[in-house]
């Protein structure tokens, strides 16, 4: 009779892993890196001790380690097959995760946005699960479900979920896959991402609770989430159905103009993540931000155009276009500021201007260069504390003539945060007329640094705090651009 005692199974798994590890032709360090890459959380010393039978690991970590070993063994072995005159690729997907990705791609080819749930359902069937899609609204307060497309069996109607108080919201906030063994059935909540940008969550329903702790399923769900996130963004560019789910109030003409020009709210490269928020999201007039990331450089800009009407939106649009024109032509800060200045003064007259901060960061060294055209000082946060405001590099607001320009310079250190913001943050007033103020802003940043939230969540929480201070209604546009730089561990040739 087979012995299924948990202790015996754990011992047998440890022996099996140790043997497989020897056959995998890996060092302990190489295996740990692979294990960490597929979601493992145990440290190098713990893995080394486990492989030598000196300690135990939780079941999920043991299974994740087994996944990493088995992937390596798959690389070293093959099945003998009849040969061709040349190498022939497989024309049909042979594995469940590959089939799921292919079906999602094929299901969205030449498809309108409202067909996306059907494509997701087909991909979910290939994985042997059921998937519901929730998109976060532009206020980042609630997760709203997409309709199910002819589910194979009836499921309870999905309702919106609060970002701050639900397990799904926690998965969204922390960008972390979370299991749920609720009475309605076991499920995984998987962040829905386009690169670094948070779009919502996937509700992955499984048949057995044990599947929630299958590391292979988690990896496969992450792959599907990454591809689906790209599809959501792409399909939103040529249809309104997905956008209607996220847009809970009608935007003004001014706001539509500004939003049409903004880059993705969050983006990242290996050593740098940047995220932006504009408020009020449905009626912003003259605030805007932009950025561009490359292998070696991050270029950032935040601006605040004068006024609170469509004209201010047009000034912001012209300034963004001038900035991009100069930047894409390879010009630096001086030429970028000059072209913005000339564009505003040449098309809108002497009374038009925009305050702005333009930044260039060398991602290999941390060297930061900046110009400040009449704007609030950028802030650098290090180790949970504000190091100092960046007070150099000042000139007149753009559109009023630049005068003498002098670029400010600073060097960032590993894990430094950079905050650019408009005066609508610090000048937000409560019912008594008290400003949100810089001291309150600095105190908020210190608390957020201690909480360890990623940049997108910190920016979301900051704008929420500003809105709360002003009783939910802003009297002026408020924009935040928050970035974190991590020095690359090695430079690849």
Which two tokens mark 236? 């939103």
Show contacts of 156-160: CB within 8 Å, 24+ apart: 156/184, 158/132, 158/134, 158/203
The model's pLDDT over 436-474, given as tens digits with 9 standing for 90+, comes to 988 888 888 888 878 888 889 999 999 999 988 887 777
Which two tokens mark 112? 């309108």
Strand order in the sheet with 130-136: 161-162, 142-145, 130-136, 197-205, 185-194, 178-182
So what's the pLDDT on residue 106? 87
So what's the pLDDT on residue 315? 96
Q: What is the mean pLDDT of the chain?
A: 87
Would you say residue 83 has pLDDT above 60?
Answer: no
Q: Please, which pLDDT band fits residue 94 given cuts at 50, 70 and 90? A: low
Are the C-beta atoms of residues 316 and 286 closer than 8 Å to each other? yes
For 397, the 3-state DSSP assignment is coil
The model's pLDDT over 392-448, given as tens digits with 9 standing for 90+, comes to 999 999 999 988 888 999 999 999 999 999 998 988 888 888 889 888 888 888 888
So what's the pLDDT on residue 476? 80
Residues in CB range of 62: below 8 A, 6 or more apart: 10, 13, 14, 17, 50
Report the predicted TM-score, pTM, of the whole model to 2 decimal places: 0.79
- Per-residue pLDDT averaged across 162-179, rounded? 95
Would you say residue 229 has pLDDT above 90?
Answer: yes
So what's the pLDDT on residue 351? 87
CA 71, 189, 463: angle at the middle one, nearest 5?
120
- Per-residue pLDDT averaged across 74-102, rounded? 64
- Per-residue pLDDT averaged across 322-349, rounded? 96
């Amino acid at each position: 009779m087979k012995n299924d005692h948990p202790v015996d199974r754990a011992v047998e798994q440890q022996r099996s892993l140790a043997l497989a590890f020897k056959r995998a032709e890996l060092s302990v360090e190489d295996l740990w890196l692979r294990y960490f890459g597929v979601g493992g959380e145990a440290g190098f010393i713990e893995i080394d001790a486990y492989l030598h039978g000196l300690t135990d690991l939780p079941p999920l970590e043991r299974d994740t380690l087994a996944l990493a070993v088995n992937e390596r063994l798959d690389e070293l072995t093959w099945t003998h097959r009849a040969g061709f005159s040349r190498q022939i690729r497989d024309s049909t997907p042979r594995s469940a995760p590959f089939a799921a990705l292919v079906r999602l791609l094929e299901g969205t080819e030449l498809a309108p946005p409202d067909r996306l749930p059907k494509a997701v359902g087909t991909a979910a069937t290939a994985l042997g699960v059921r998937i519901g899609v929730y998109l976060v609204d532009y206020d980042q307060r609630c997760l709203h479900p997409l309709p199910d497309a002819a589910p194979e069996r009836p499921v309870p109607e999905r309702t919106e979920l609060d970002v701050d108080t639900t397990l799904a919201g926690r998965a969204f906030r922390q960008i972390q896959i979370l299991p749920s063994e609720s009475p309605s059935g076991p499920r995984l909540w998987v962040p829905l991402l386009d690169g670094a940008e948070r779009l919502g969550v996937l509700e992955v329903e499984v048949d057995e609770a044990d599947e929630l702790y299958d590391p292979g399923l988690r990896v496969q769900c992450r792959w599907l989430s990454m591809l689906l996130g790209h599809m959501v963004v792409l399909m939103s560019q040529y249809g309104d159905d997905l956008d209607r789910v996220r847009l809970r109030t009608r935007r003004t003409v001014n706001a539509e103009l500004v939003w049409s020009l903004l880059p993705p709210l969050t983006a990242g490269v290996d050593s740098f993540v940047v995220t932006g928020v504009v408020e009020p999201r449905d009626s912003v007039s003259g605030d805007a931000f932009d950025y561009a990331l490359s292998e070696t450089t991050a270029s950032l800009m935040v601006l605040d155009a004068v006024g609170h009407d469509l004209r201010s939106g047009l000034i912001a649009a012209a300034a963004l276009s001038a900035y991009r024109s100069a930047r894409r032509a390879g010009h630096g800060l001086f030429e970028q500021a000059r072209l913005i200045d000339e564009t505003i003064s040449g098309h809108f007259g002497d009374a038009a201007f925009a305050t702005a901060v333009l930044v260039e960061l060398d991602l290999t060294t941390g060297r930061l260069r900046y110009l400040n055209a009449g704007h609030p000082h950028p802030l650098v946060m290090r180790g949970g504390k504000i190091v100092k405001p960046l007070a150099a590099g000042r000139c007149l607001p753009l559109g009023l003539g630049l005068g003498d320009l002098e670029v400010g310079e600073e060097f960032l250190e590993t894990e430094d945060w950079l905050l650019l913001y408009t005066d609508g943050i610090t000048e937000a007033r409560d019912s008594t007329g008290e400003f949100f103020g810089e001291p309150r802003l600095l105190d908020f940043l210190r608390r957020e640094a201690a909480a360890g939230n990623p940049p997108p969540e910190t920016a979301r929480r900051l704008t929420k705090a500003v809105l709360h201070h002003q009783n939910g209604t802003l009297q002026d546009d408020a924009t935040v651009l928050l970035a974190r730089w991590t020095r690359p561990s090695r430079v690849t040739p």
